[in-house]
Each structure stands twice: as structure tokens, then as C-alpha cells.
Amino acid sequence: MDYDAMDGLEDVGPRVVVRHALRDRADFTLENTDLSFANSLRRTLLAEVPTMAIDLVEVQANTSSLADEFIAHRLGLVPLNSKNVDDVSYTRDCEFCEQYCEHCSVTLDLHARCTGDEIMKVYARDLVVAEPRPNEWVGVPVITDSLGLGTLICKLRKGQEIRMKCVAKKGIAKEHAKWAPTSAVGFEYDPHNKLQHLDYWYEEDPEKEWPKSENAKWEDAPQDGEPFDYSAQPSKFYFDVESIGNLEPDAVVLQGIKVLQQKLALVIQELSGDDRNGDADGFGGARSPDGLQGGADYGMDQGYTTPFGNTGGQTMYGGGTTPFGATPYGQSGWQ
């Protein structure tokens, strides 16, 4: 390959520079893009990357000192491996069942009984994954401690017992925090505040009371007397993605970009007036019932019907009309 012919191409399109990469953390910079895209990526990483989490708990026996709901809540927060989670269908989209099955869920069994005099601790390692499942990775509890125990679920005294069937499903953190792929996403731009997007409150000296972050070493400090550039826009953004263990940080970023592409593809499809059924440009992915083509046929219960009719999206006045008949822009509804 002729690398000389590629001179100057590094500034075309977004550019990513990985500064640090660990098993559960990735620190990188994103350049040659605008603030809206960078912030959209940040929000997607936090709330819209699909993972696996326990969503349904069937309590068969519980004589511990903790209530059923308390243990069920703790089980929901146990991180589960979500590698290749695309192999798992959303329960609401599953064509093989109405509640859960091997195509849209993973079943884990928990059975522990204390027979000794000492207090028995039940950990995530005691969750046994049942077969079959969509692939060999999804649903396995994430265990990162040196002892190989995992998350503490509960404690049992002599004679106490818990026996539960846990069903893990695919979801996103926008629906519930237990599906969050990250514990935090650090985000910063313009560490020297050249753009003056921040107005620091200080008592005596802002330089001492508001110390610069480590990212300030990656940019030149403003010069004394330098005129303010009113047309300047941020173009370099600093990300620090910390995974909770269900996905590797690079996989979280790649999935976030994929989800962002899917959402943009749906917008393009709607703007172009494409009425074809199916995924927009082959992108599939998560979507809400009211965003589907033919949303009234979505599932057994659309979940958004009104007491004035069972056709989704219909108001008490009927269809898309206002209480005064036609809209101010002509006939009722979209033309």
C-alpha cells in the first residue's frame, strides 16, 4: 500500500486514539467530529447498549431472613456475561413464545441450604446456568474477584434454604439500570476552557480552586492576551469508559456505535418515506412499539391503548383529529 498517498487523510472523518485499555476500562479520544455526535455516543453508551440481566425470579423456597423481593432485586443486579448478545432476541419480539424461551432468555437455577452451625454465604458462583441457551457465553455470572466468588446474594443460618429459578432477558439501561453495560462514562472537552462554556465559581483564584484534569496535557494552554475566537467549536473529546464486566469496554463502544447507526437509519427511513417493512437498511435493533410500522399489530397487548378505544395511538376524539375537527393545516392526519 502506498502510504505516501494517504497523507492528509487522517483529518477526514472521526478519528479515535486509544490512550489506555484495560480489561474493564478504556480511555480514548474522539476527534474531527462535533459535540452533538460525541454527546449522543456518550448517552448511547450509558443507556442503550443491550445486555443480559435477571428479569424474572420464580421463588420456590425462601426461609432466609430476607424477603423474596429483596433477593430478587439483588439477583437482578448480578452482572451477566453479554458477549454476542445479538444472538438473543428481545422477549417482546420473540416469535417462539409469549413469556420466555431458549431463544430470548437464559435460565439460571439457585439452590442453597445451610446445614452447618456457621453462617453460609450465597454468591453469584452458586447460580447454575441451564441449557439450552442462545450461545455459550450469555447468561454466565461475571466473577472477577481473586477468590472466584462473585457478588454476594444473601446469608443463611442453619436450617435456612433458598431455591429459585431465575430468567435472564435482554434489555437496555433506559428501561432499567440493571441492564447498564457501564458503571460510568467519563466525558470531557476543552480542558483549558478556551471556549468559555464553563463559568467557574471561585473565591480567590480559579486556577487553584479548579485544577486542570489530566486531559489538559493533551492540548495547548491558552496564551496570555490571546483574542477570543467566537467561531471556535469543540472537535476533540475525551472518553473514559468503565465496564461492569458483562461486556468488554471496546465491545461497549462498538455496540454503542451500532445502536446509533440503527437509530439514524430509522430516522432516514422515516424522512425518505420508505414504507417497506423490516429493519431500516438492514440495521435491526431495539425500538419501541410506537416506532414500528403498523404499530397497532405489535404483540398481544400494545400497552399504549386508551380507555376510549383499543386502537393504538387513538385519542378520545378519534384518530389524529383534534377536538375541533380538522387541523389548522388542512385535513385531519398527515397527508
Q: Give the pLDDT confidence score for residue 10 in this predicted structure.
A: 52
Per residue of the chain (335 residues), what is the pLDDT tens digit? 443 444 444 557 889 999 999 999 999 999 999 999 999 999 999 999 999 999 999 999 999 999 999 999 999 999 999 999 999 999 999 999 988 999 999 999 999 999 999 999 999 999 999 989 999 999 999 999 999 999 999 999 999 999 999 999 999 999 999 999 999 999 999 999 999 898 888 898 888 888 999 999 999 888 888 888 889 999 999 999 999 999 999 999 999 999 999 999 999 999 988 665 544 444 444 444 444 444 344 334 444 333 444 444 443 334 444 344 444 434 434 43
- Alpha carbon distances (Å) from 244 to 5, 256, 303: 42, 15, 32
Q: What pLDDT, on the 0 to 100 scale, is given for residue 200?
A: 86
Q: How far apart are CA 330 and CA 237, in angstroms?
A: 46
pLDDT for res 320: 42
Give residue 102's identity as a one-letter amino acid code.
Answer: E
- Res 330: pLDDT: 43
What pLDDT sits at residue 98? 87
Task: For residue 271, give the amino acid letter.
Answer: L
Neighbours of 106 (CB within 10 A): 26
pLDDT per residue as tens digits for the range 79-137: 999 999 999 999 999 999 988 999 999 999 999 999 999 999 999 999 999 989 999 99
Whole-number Å distance between alpha carbons of 303 and 300: 9
Interatomic CA distance for residues 240 and 249, integer angstroms: 10
User: Where do the DSSP E strands lie in the chain?
Assistant: 15-21, 25-31, 51-62, 105-113, 120-123, 128-129, 152-156, 161-171, 182-189, 236-243
Please give the biggest Cα pair distance in the chain.
79
State residue 199's pLDDT score. Answer: 87
Give 333's Cβ-side CA count (13 Å radius). 8
Number of H helices, E strands in the chain: 4, 10
* pTM more than 0.85: no
